[in-house]
Amino acid sequence: MPALTLREILALDPVRGSAPELLAGEGSLDRPVRWVHSSEVYEGANFLDGGELLLTNGFGLTGADEGTRRQYVRELAARGAAGLAVEVGRALVRMPEEVVDEARRLGLPLLALHRVVPFVRITEAANRAIVARGLSGRSAGRLWGGDHTAALLADLADGQALNQPEVEARAALAGFHPGSGARLVGVSAHGARADLGVIDRAARSLGGVAVLRAAFPGDVLALVAMPGDAGAGARDVVRTVQRDVVRAVQEAFRAVAEAGATVAVGHAVMAGGGWLRWSETLRAARTTLELALTVPSAEPGPSGGPVVTSSRALTLERELTRGGVDANRDRLARLVQHTLGPLLAWEAAHPSDLVRTLEVHLRHGCSPTRTAALLHIGRQSLYQRLERIETLLGLEIDDPDLLGELLAAACAHRVVRGMGEASVRGLRTVA
């Protein structure tokens, strides 16, 4: 299906409401329009890539001389602009004759908008129509079977080059309208019991929050919009800001997901922070899911229930595998051997669990009580293990200067083990 044309954009209600008058470029009304922008910057042509309709209220033209105005039109035409629409009656009492003359000479469509219509209404309607037309013309393969929601989530999770108006327009087509004050949390779920139903049940348990979700081969992706309290009092606003939305989303999935499901939750981002933030939380969720499926857990998990984790819980694992696990394999193996070599040699010759004991102990502030409880052993047995670890490594494990290196190495040991097991099971690895 062909792209939306300038003629079709002129037929949209918000554009018609501005009482447009075509002053030049009558023969170019059927040229395709790639996007609609508004800008009051005189150098606005520098930001165009070609195919855009530019809206302006004319402030940049009011104080310019004739030659400068002609140059402005020439630059727009040179950049391949689909047209120029200028609001007249406020900043400009009338369209300058030299602008009309230059546009006619170059064949650039020039519109005078005689009624004030907020440009945001025009751009939103036009760009939404452009997106809808573009999606309907894409291949079914890229659209995941014609599912526009899946296509948008796939583009975000894959880090495709997008822009905020396009993302918002495509989200609106899918019925997803997060307010600028909402916080978005990416979710990625895997397993026989991880389907769209578990996403919907979690959303209902959170109070019917807005959700953008779709199923893919291997996982389910979702963006959960946790609303802000725009009309709340000062005390309520503080409470909302302090609310741990990531934990709230995790608890919702723990309550509704079934055994066999693995759910990974990304970090919270502001909906008004731009599409890159939307992409970041989705990518963090998907990367965390890959790690949760690939890397053995540092601690015994709950038996008989779903596995629900978050990107912040696996921050160290994600940092160690940044750029891909295969790319980091040799570096992590060297770190493990350099730091934990004596422990690994001991474990190879004696049945023991020293490396995991070390990691659990470090992760929980070197608390003997907490470590013993998590490992399901007595305090005396724990003290014996810790003494063995210190003897083999020749250091004190609660030395603040060593905590970072020891924890990173213990975590890297699990990652390296998970790499080998993943290749045997045929699991994907983190990209």
The DSSP element (H or E) to which 50 belongs, if any, is none
Name beta bridge partners: 38: 55
Phi, psi of 135 (to 5 degrees): -65, -40
Token pair in block for residue 402:
């060593």
pLDDT tier, 423 (very low <50, low <70, confident <90, very high otherwise) = very low
365: left (phi over 0), alpha (psi -120 to 50) or beta: left
Give the amino acid at 392.
L
What integer pLDDT is reported at residue 2 of this predicted model? 60
Closest among 207, 290, 218 to 249, alpha carbons compared: 207
What pTM value is reported for the model? 0.64
What integer pLDDT is reported at residue 1 of this predicted model? 45
Q: How much is the average pLDDT of 224-248?
A: 61
**Would the pLDDT of 101 be above 90?**
yes
Integer CA distances (angstroms), 63 to 89, 91, 96, 271, 349, in order: 15, 10, 12, 38, 85
Name beta bridge partners: 35: 52
Closest among 198, 28, 190 to 106, alpha carbons compared: 28
Q: What is the pLDDT of residues 285-318, one digit of tens each?
A: 999 998 888 888 887 666 667 899 999 999 999 8
- For the chain, report the end-to-end CA distance as a whole number of angstroms: 35
What integer pLDDT is reported at residue 58 of this predicted model? 81
pLDDT tier, 4 (very low <50, low <70, confident <90, very high otherwise) = confident
Integer CA distances (angstroms), 73 to 69, 296, 313, in order: 7, 62, 55
Q: How much is the average pLDDT of 403-428?
A: 74
What integer pLDDT is reported at residue 210 of this predicted model? 93
Q: What is the pLDDT of residues 6-59, one digit of tens each?
A: 999 999 988 999 999 999 999 999 988 988 888 765 555 666 778 889 999 888
**Would the pLDDT of 231 be above 70?**
no
Instruction: Quote the DSSP letter at residue 258.
Output: P
What integer pLDDT is reported at residue 195 of this predicted model? 86
For residues 136 and 346, what is the distance between their CA atoms, to the nearest angstrom?
62
CA angle 289, 293, 295 (to 5 degrees): 105
pLDDT tier, 120 (very low <50, low <70, confident <90, very high otherwise) = confident
**Would the pLDDT of 381 be above 60?**
yes
What integer pLDDT is reported at residue 3 of this predicted model? 72
Token pair in block for residue 10:
């002129």
Instruction: Quote the DSSP letter at residue 271.
Output: G
**Strand extents, DSSP E, 138-297:** 183-190, 210-216, 219-226, 262-270
